[in-house]
Amino acid sequence: MTPADRAEIVWMEQDRKKRGWQIRLWVGEEVIKYRPPEPAPGREADEELLRSATVEAARLDGFELNPDAVTIHRP
């Protein structure tokens, strides 16, 4: 697996149809954006769940991510 430098998970609320968590994963200079795997965590999810969802999403994409490298941005 390729190591990822860091990640952040951000609550996005553009409109009623497009709201939820978005993951941004940094691998060197590249930033990869995607949604957490289903079932996606809700807005009030605890930090442990959000970190594990972010690490799992990175793993599914072939990246290794330390949970301590995940930043959470809540609304």
**Alpha helix ranges (H) inside 1-75:** 47-60
Say whether pLDDT at 8 is over 80: yes
Joined together, the tokens standing for residue 31 give 């930033």
Q: What is the pLDDT of residues 37-66, one digit of tens each?
A: 888 888 899 999 999 999 999 999 999 999
| Mean pLDDT computed over every residue of the chain | 92
**CA 5-70-42 angle, 5° bins:** 140
Per-residue pLDDT at 30: 95
- Can you give the residue ranges of every domain in the chain? 2-73
Say whether pLDDT at 18 is over 90: no
